[in-house]
């Protein structure tokens, strides 16, 4: 089909041109915010702006060139949105560094470099996402092993009350960030095989189709794992993220609301028990219910976050004009409060819209994907971003208890940043496969009388 091939070729080249234009806008956001921090704090543009801006531009250009080479039909919006969020996060972390005399922004730029390197590696290595469906249970075992690692003596490390880190010499990282990506593949592979049994059998009770008791095994297993994370590692955020992820993928695979009802009841029951019997969880819930009961002690962080949003108002105090270092861990869990104080509600809404775009593009890739495994993986990866943003934003605005999760691409944190760049690479790969035109089964110029009798046509795709 030479005419269609030419037409699709033109479309995908134009798509990459749009991505390049959006990347330039993303660089303007990141580098411009970095310059504004220097102007706001010192009254002059930072002296290292050329080196910083050049390195940031080199990273996004490398990512764009690789996408153009190995995934030409991929979604053109995802990469620029991620670059804008990462650049803005670097500028805000730099602003907090100036106030606290730290160097977290330099570390974050280094981790961004590692993340882009793994992004490139993932696009080269994963040429077809469907191949990962062969390793469903292997990836599941690896993810469980990663979740257990922080509990091992010698390498497990407790930070801020949660035992979710491991330390290997001078290096430390959160295995849960890698496990969340592997669990998406595990859940997707399992549900593709078993979704018929999970979707069709059951009993109807009060307008809700409830699953059979014999089919509750997977959700009970995941509920037990999330409770172990909550109790043993004292990590409310990861517990909520993993169980919520499984529940969303289970609902999407079966289209059965009864799973949401059963799963929500199980999680609320477990959370209520943890509130009573696990002191760390009870303390977080108490702070959420009334942070002003101890505004200078346990509720200090949340109270200062709420004051930061209030002082920021609609357009903020201006970069360099606020006091974001007043909030402990503002470069990490509470970076959105720093944005709210210095850039205002307008910037916070813009950031949330960028996250909404990532989730929307993931769901769009799922809709047009031709295989069930890819659909579920795209939904799962989009749900990871959505759930993580929801619990973080809900925590700093007092909508839900604080969880300790990081804001994707914004917060300081190497493990989270690197894992999220890999998530973007996988989403781009799925969207590339979904948008790629189907191979022609017959040649229009071929004489029907001369056509070969092969059942499956061999296609040589030079692209």
Length reported for the chain: 463
pLDDT of 344 reads 93
CA distance 331 to 92: 8
- 3-class secondary structure, 372: helix
Give the long-range contacts of residues 394-397, CB within 8 A, separation 24 or more: 395/333, 396/302, 396/305, 396/333, 396/334, 396/336, 396/337, 397/305, 397/306, 397/309
Which residues are within 8 A (CB) of 454 and not within 5 positions of it... i.e. 6 or more apart? none
pLDDT of 201 reads 66
Is residue 152 classed exposed, middle or buried when 0-12, 13-18 and 19+ CB atoms within 10 A define those classes?
exposed
pLDDT of 5 reads 46
Which residues are within 8 A (CB) of 277 and not within 5 positions of it... i.e. 6 or more apart? none
Contact between residue 360 and residue 135 where contact means Cβ atoms under 8 Å apart: no
pLDDT of 43 reads 87
Provide the residue ranges of all domains of the chain, joining segments of one domain with +: 15-435
In which residue ranges of the chain is pLDDT below 70? 1-13, 201-202, 205-208, 441-463
Tokens standing for residue 391: 């619990």
- pLDDT tens digits, one per residue of 117-138: 999 999 999 999 999 989 999 9
- pLDDT tens digits, one per residue of 67-97: 999 999 999 999 999 999 999 999 999 999 9
pLDDT of 8 reads 47
Our separate counts of H helices and E strands in the chain read: 14, 5
**Pairing state of beta strands 203-205 and 208-210?**
antiparallel
Q: Which of 56, 55, 35 is nearest to 46 (CA)?
A: 35
pTM of the model: 0.90
């Amino acid at each position: 089909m030479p005419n269609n091939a030419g037409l699709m070729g033109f479309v995908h080249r134009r798509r990459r041109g749009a991505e390049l234009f959006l990347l330039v806008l993303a660089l303007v956001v990141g580098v411009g915010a970095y310059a504004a921090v220097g102007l706001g704090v010192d009254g002059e543009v930072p002296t290292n702006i050329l080196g910083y801006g050049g390195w940031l531009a080199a990273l996004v250009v490398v990512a764009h060139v690789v996408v153009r080479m190995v995934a030409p039909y991929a979604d053109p919006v995802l990469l620029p949105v991620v670059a804008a969020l990462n650049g803005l996060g670097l500028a805000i972390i730099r602003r907090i560094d100036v106030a606290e005399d730290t160097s977290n922004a330099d570390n974050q730029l280094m981790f961004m470099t590692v993340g882009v390197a793994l992004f490139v590696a993932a696009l080269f290595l994963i040429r077809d996402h469907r191949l990962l469906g062969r390793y469903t249970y292997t990836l599941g075992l690896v993810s469980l092993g990663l979740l257990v690692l922080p509990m091992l003596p010698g390498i497990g490390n407790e930070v801020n009350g949660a035992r979710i880190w491991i330390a290997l010499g001078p290096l430390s990282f959160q295995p849960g960030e890698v496990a969340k990506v592997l669990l998406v593949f595990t859940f997707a592979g399992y549900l593709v095989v078993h979704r018929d049994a999970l979707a069709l059998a059951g009993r109807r009770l009060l307008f809700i189709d409830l699953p059979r008791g014999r089919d509750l095994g997977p959700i009970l297993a995941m509920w037990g794992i999330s409770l172990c994370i909550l109790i043993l590692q004292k990590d409310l955020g990861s517990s909520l993220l993993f169980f919520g992820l499984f529940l969303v993928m289970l609902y999407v695979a079966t289209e059965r609301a009864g799973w949401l009802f059963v799963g929500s009841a199980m999680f609320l029951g477990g959370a209520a028990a943890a509130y009573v019997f696990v002191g760390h969880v009870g303390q977080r819930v108490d702070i959420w219910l009334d942070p002003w009961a101890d505004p200078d002690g346990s509720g200090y962080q949340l109270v200062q976050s709420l004051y930061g949003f209030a002082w920021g108002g609609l357009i903020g105090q201006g970069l360099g004009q606020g006091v974001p270092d007043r909030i402990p861990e503002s470069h990490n869990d509470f970076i959105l409060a720093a944005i709210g104080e210095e850039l205002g509600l307008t910037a916070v809404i813009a950031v949330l819209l960028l996250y909404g775009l990532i989730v929307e593009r993931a769901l769009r890739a799922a809709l047009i994907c031709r295989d069930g495994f890819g659909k579920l993986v795209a939904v799962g990866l989009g749900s990871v971003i959505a759930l993580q943003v929801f619990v973080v934003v809900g925590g700093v605005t007092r909508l839900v208890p604080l969880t300790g999760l990081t804001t994707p691409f914004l917060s300081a944190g190497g493990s989270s940043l690197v894992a999220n760049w890999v998530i973007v690479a996988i989403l781009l790969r799925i969207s590339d496969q979904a948008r790629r035109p189907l191979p022609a089964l017959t040649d229009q110029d071929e004489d029907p009388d001369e056509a070969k009798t092969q059942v499956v046509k061999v296609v040589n795709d030079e692209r």
